Every structure is written in C-alpha cells, then in structure tokens.
Chains A and B, each alone.
Chain A
Amino acid sequence: MSPETLQKKFLRGLTEQFPDILGKLQEHVPGQLIAVLPREELPKVTKYAVNQLGARFVITVATDQRDKTGDFGISYILAFDEEKQFLVLHSNLPADDPRIESVTPEVPAANWAEREAYDMVGIVPEGHPDPRRLVLPDDFPAGIHPLRKEYQYNTRFPSEPQNAPPRMPPPEGSTVVPIGPFYPTLEEPAYFRLFLDGERVVGSDYRGFYNHRAVEKLGDSELNYNQVPFVAQQICGICGQVHSCAYVEAVERACEIEVPMRAKYIRTILLELERIHSHLLWVGLAGHIIAFDTVLMQLWRIREPVMWLMERVTGNRKHYSSNLVGGVRFDITPEAADDIRRVLAKVEEEFKAVVDAVLIDTSLMARLKDVGILTEENARALGAVGPTARGSNVAIDCRVDHPYAAYDQLDVQKQVQDGCDCWARTLVRLYEVFESIRLVRKALDQMPGGPIMAKIDGPLPADRIALCSVEAARGESHHYVRTGEDNRPYRWRLRAPTYPNLQAVGCMIQGVNLADVPICIGSYDPCFSCTERVETLDVNTNEIRVYTREELQELSRRKTLG
C-alpha cells in the first residue's frame, strides 16, 4: 500500500472499527484497494463504510470461480469519491452454500446488484427485502444461473412461463396505469406500473432488462481482449466510446500497460465530443417529451455537425471502433484538429443562442421547476450518479474523482446545482456542454506527439483485478476486469449509469402528477434497450392481432438467426 493511501481519512475510520482489516488490504492498482474478508464480516464492513464513512456503493461482482478455487466469489465495490479511492471487499463463498447476508436493508443502493448476483450466479442475499427476479426473462427456468461457467453463451433453455416474478401489489384504493413495455418517448423497452390516487403518483413498480444481451458471458467465454472493446462499444448507442474506453482502461491498469500520452488525449477528446452530442440530444429530447419540439429540432440540427466530426476523426458517426488494449487506432491529424476547433466554435455560438432563449423561457420552467424532486439525501442513499446526482447537489464526477485517460491534466470543473428538480438536471447538462467544449480545446492544445499504441510483447498476465469508472453523459459507467489465462477476461463486469439512476426513479416520481411522469423519467437520460410484445393493426381489415410470446420469440429468432 502506498504511503498516501495510508494517510487517507476513510482508512483511519475503517481500521478504528475493524482493526484486522489493515493486514488484508492490498493495493495492486493505485487508488484501488482490495480486501478478502470472511463472509460474516463483509456485510458489516460494507454497511459501516457506506453509512458511517460516507462511501458510495457502486456495484457487486459475483464470480463463478469453481474451476480455479472450487468456490464462488462476491465483491462489493465501494467508492470514496472525495478521497479518490475505490475499495473492493471480496469474499469467497463455498460452492454448496453460496449465501451472504444482504446489505440492502441498510444500503438501499445495493438492491438491484444483490438481486442480479442471485439471478446470474446464484449467490443468495439472505434477508433481502425484495428478492424478486430482476434480470432473467419471465420464462427462464428456475434454479439456473446463466453466468455460471457450465453454461455456454448459446445454450438454449426450456421455457417455464410459471416463473414470472410477481408484480408489486398496488396500495389500497389506487389505480394502476402501465407505461410500457415500450417506453413512448424514448423508443426503448421499459415497463413502469404507476399506482395513482387521482392524478397523483403514490407508488411505482419497474420491470426491465427486456433486452439483456449477455455481453458479460461473451466477454469471459468467447471473445479475446481485443474483441471485447467492439462489443462494449455496442452496449449503448450513445456512450460507445465510454464503455470501450472503460473496459480497455481497466485491462491496461490490471496488466500495467503503459499507454502513450497521445492515445490518452485522443480518448479524452472523443469522450468529450461524445458528451457534447449526447447532452445536445438529451436537451432536445427533454423538449420533445414536454411537447416543445422547437428545442428538439434546433438542438438536433446543432448536434449533427458534431456527429460528422466524429465521422471525420474515426470513420463512423457511431461505433467509432477507436479503442484497443494499449491505445487507440485512429490518430487526430492536424487538419482534423482544425476541423474540430472550427465546428466547436460554431456549435458553441449556436448553442449559446439557444441557452439564452431557454433560460428565460417561462413555459419551459413551468414544466420543469419543482418537478421530480430527488433530495440530496435520497440521491446519496440510492447511489445516483452523473447529472442526476449533480442536480441534487451531490458533487461527484469521475473525471475529477477517479481520473482516467488524460483528465488528470485538464482541470475539469464539476457542474453542480442544488435545485434537486428536473430544471436543475437540465441546467447541469446545459453548462456541461460549455465545459466540454473548453476541455476539448484545452486537450487539443496540450496533446503531445508520439505513438498512439503501446507495444504489447507477451501474453497479458492472468488473475489481476482492476476497475475503471468513466463519466458518461448520463453518469458513471463502471467496468471491472479480472484477467484470465486464455487471452480473455476471466470476469468482466459492467454497470451502466442508468442502473443506479433507474432505482432512484421510484423516489423521484412519488407524489408528482401523471402528466409529469414522462419528463421525470426522461430527466435522468435513461438508456434501456428492444421490445417485448407487439400489437399489430392490419390496415386492410382493421383487425387487431396480439402476438403471443411464443410467436414473437419464433419471429425474432428467425430474424436474428437468419
């Protein structure tokens, strides 16, 4: 452990309460501590760290390591943002009895993570208040945990429709209004059940993961280190660079690959350009959700040159395919740098005009101010990230807190608002666009010359663990990589920013009017991903036909398998 880490405040707090832990802490990657604890102790340390020391719960990583050590592993990842530190608490659980005490009653942010650990690997969170199925499909066979190593990525399981998780019962006297399974304004699958008392929302239930694509399974059983970034970039239609960058950076940290500075700067520039076009897209969509389509049209017009810019630099407007372990594939030529400066000058000018108009537009304010309140306390408790957290006065930003790429040399200014409502979240994004433009210019000025790819001589070392958090436009994207022997990760875990933010929605829409629900859900920039069932209308006969689940499954299999 480095001397600086030993000085940190959280470590003193932790060792005061748990004196044994000091001997178990290891720091392989700077800023990332790993401790292997017995399973009785892990929940205690997690609860203490979150509730007494102010740690932020990030995610759990469940690993099937039976082929190596004969047991299961579970890691709870915590972040001490102010002290720029990650803490991984790991426990090994016997293969015949993989149980661990749930921390969710005291750490609500762990709710989904623990349910997912059960669904995917079969680690039972004992005492979980809501142990319903989360990630697996409704008809997935019970007792099968697909991320265990005995199942292949293409194993086809029998359908058992009786396993659908029970729905939350609505409170007495309330009406249920379903939104979904295809979310109307975002064109993505998500299924909210709202419990209404008149016009007011008194509760909600969420079912999602309709488009689970099993990328983690592919990453640790099929693809090699340099193929994973191309799958990672397709996790999201917007944050492609974010996910591939987080993955390669985690591998590089684990294997101590020295990435050339120029490559780091190129990653940074692409990430910031991505943030600019994502925020412009979001502000447009927010306008669209509240039926103010002028904002949508104008912001998407302003956004388009940024997309062309990405195409100019990397070759494609989306799925840039830019990152590989060790560096980047496409250099930014001096001409391309000039193009970036020129386009950004125009974008800044045009965006400023829009912001000037929007900030004094009372009709917009009437729909956004004091709507969808997420208090600072709740934002912290539920682990909200990104503009959702920063709009609630929680000053976390991975670019500053856990620097990656070249951000440690750029002096990023966090944009924080204390309004806690949809308007505050909008303001955070508006100001972040200007900040990103400044960062791109600064990065272009500071970018050194030299190679853009590190030389990798031998096979990458196995069984090393590293984390990387990348600040996407929506919040923190977290990737965990444990390296493996056969040129692929042994375990690759990722957590997109919508994962914690979505858990905060129930809190956000409590008490709002039904008409405000779409903008509340839209205000944290959700990213679900395809559809569950479809109703078709035959225009010739006016006959409505609802496809059954089996028919749809057959249709989509025929479509995807050719």
Chain B
Amino acid sequence: MFKAKLKEAVICFGAGRVTLKYPFEPSPVPPKFRGKIEFDARKCIACGGCANVCPPRCIVIEDMGEVAKITFNLDRCIQCARCYEVCPEKAIWPTDEFETATPDKSDLKSEMIVWMSTCQRCGRCFETDNAIDKFESKRWRGRGPGEANKHGIFPIKPPIDFSMPGSLVREPEEGQGQ
C-alpha cells in the first residue's frame, strides 16, 4: 500500500508542468491541420465538385443564368477538407484558423458569385478520377435562387410536416444537378 502510494507520488512529481499557456500564448497547429475553409473567387470555376462531395452539405450551388452563387455555411463544416481534395483549381483550401467560436452563426456564412463561361483551355466540364465522387449527390445544386437544398438539412424552407395517414409519397427530385 505504502509502496504504491510512494510510486504514485514519484510519478506525479516527475510530471512537471504540462498545461499550455494558451490562450495567453498562441498555440501553433501541426502541418496537416485542417481549419476553417478559405476560398478564392478568382480561381473558382463553379464546377460544384466541392458541393457534391461535402458530407455535411455545407456547400451548395445555385445556378442563375450567367452567374452561379456558391454558399458556404461553415457552421456545419466538419473540417474534413474533401472540398480541397477534389477541387481541380485548388480554389478552396483549409487554413490554420481554429478559433471560430461566435455568438452569431451568420458570421460563419459566406457567399461567392462566379461568372460562368466555357472553359477556354479544354472547352468541357471538370471530372474527378473517383467514380464514386463523379456520381451526383442530392440537392447540392439548384437552378435559380433558393432552389438548392430546397427542403434540406438547413431549412431554407421548413422541413416537410408529417400528414396522417403515412402516404408513400417521396419528395420530388426537383432542383437536382444537370
């Protein structure tokens, strides 16, 4: 008993100071760290690859004729950096920023409007290598304002209310990518 307590005391005294001085001192992040997403509207071609793979669907695209509006709801972001991985132009990337706490969620929402034109280099759309990622996901792209993610995870419109008796009606697949 006494021996065990002695050993435990040695461990405790040998530990020294282990707490960090953060937030009074900056806390550096490791090289591969995936923080808040940053993007560059000048590089983006609005192919929608990022929105298609985004697991929490925090990126959605709305095509509006000459322009495409891309919305980033970063309060939903899980920092997986899949968007960075599939982006052909590397127009989106994770930064070192992790202090994203805010009392207002709208601080984390950004929008980007991109002028659309045919690719000058190859004249066609971008394709990923991975067959799974090529396949289009649901509701990340819509034609016209408010059409993407119409009844989706974050309520641009409220979720469907349940009406009795349970009818076998499925949600129409409107607003899906072309």
Residues of A within 8 A of B (CB): 144, 148, 150-152, 154-158, 222-227, 230-231, 234, 294, 297-298, 301, 304, 308, 311-316, 319, 321, 325-326, 329-330, 350, 353-354, 356-358, 360-363, 455-460, 486-487, 561-562
Whole-angstrom distance from the CB of B66 to the nearest CB of chain A?
30
Chain B residues in 8 Å Cβ range of A314: 32
Chain A to chain B contacts (Cβ below 8 Å), 23 pairs: A154-B151, A155-B159, A155-B160, A224-B132, A234-B78, A298-B15, A304-B18, A308-B30, A311-B30, A311-B32, A312-B31, A315-B33, A315-B81, A321-B82, A360-B3, A457-B131, A458-B131, A459-B131, A460-B132, A487-B135, A562-B75, A562-B105, A562-B154
Segment of B41-49, B110-118, B163-171 engaged in the interface with chain A: B163-171
A150-B167, A154-B160 as given contacts; A459 in contact with B135, CB under 8 Å: yes
Number of interface residues of B (CB under 8 A): 51
Q: Is B71 an interface residue (CB 8 A)?
A: no
Partner of A298, one of B12, B55, B161, B170: B12
- Given A156-B159, A311-B30, residue A362 in contact with residue B131 (CB < 8 A): no
Provide the bound-state CA to CA distance between A326 and B132, in Å. 10
Known A362-B1, A459-B135, A562-B154; judge A315-B30 contact (CB<8 A).
yes
- Give how many A-B residue pairs fall within 8 Å (CB-CB): 133
Q: Which residues of B contact A316 (CB under 8 A)?
A: 33-34, 79
In chain B, positions 71-87 with a C-beta closer than 8 Å to chain A are 75, 78-82, 85
CA A456 to CA B131, docked complex, whole Å:
6
- A97 to B: closest C-beta gap in Å: 18
**Cα-based distance from A222 to B152 in the complex (angstroms):** 10
Residue of B nearest to A148 (CB): B166
Within 8 A of A (CB), among B127-176: 129-133, 135, 137-138, 151-155, 159-162, 166-171
Q: Tell me whether chain A's interface is mostly helix, strand or loop, or mixed.
A: loop
What residue in chain A is nearest B109 (Cβ atoms)? A562
For A353, give the chain B residue with the smallest CB separation: B11
B38: chain A residues at CB < 8 Å are none
Within the assembled complex, what's the spacing in Å between the Cα atoms of A313 and B32? 8
Chain A residue nearest to B34 in the complex (CB): A315
A510→B3 CA distance, assembly (Å): 34
Q: Min CB distance, A9 to chain B, in Å?
A: 40
* Cα A358 to Cα B105 with chains together (Å): 47
Residues of B within 8 A of A226 (CB): 53, 82, 130, 132-133
Which residues of chain B are near A157, meaning CB under 8 Å?
162
Flag if A354 contacts B81 (CB, 8 Å). no
1/0 contact string of B24-59 vs chain A (CB within 8 Å): 000000111110000000000000000001111000
Closest to A321 in B: B80
Whether the Cβ atoms of B135 and A231 lie closer than 8 Å is no
Known contacts A315-B81, A456-B132, A459-B135; is-contact A156 B162 (Cβ 8 Å): yes
Smallest Cβ distance from B17 to chain A, in angstroms? 11
Known A-B contacts: A154-B151, A224-B135, A457-B131. Give 4 more (CB < 8 A): A222-B138, A230-B55, A360-B3, A460-B131
> What chain B residues lie within 8 Å of A148 (beta carbons)?
166
A142: min CB distance to chain B, Å = 11
Taken together as a complex, chains A and B put the C-alpha atoms of A471 and B80 apart, in Å, by 24
- Closest Cβ of chain A to B124, distance in Å, is 20
- Asked whether B21 is an interface residue with its Cβ less than 8 Å from the other chain, the reply is no
Partner of A357, one of B4, B80, B162: B4
Residue among A315, A353, A459 with most chain B CB within 10 A: A315
A135 to B76 Cα, complex, angstroms: 26
Q: Which residue of B lies closest to A350 (CB)?
A: B11
Given that A227-B53, A316-B34 are contacting pairs, would A362 and B75 also be in contact in the complex, using a CB cutoff of 8 Å? no
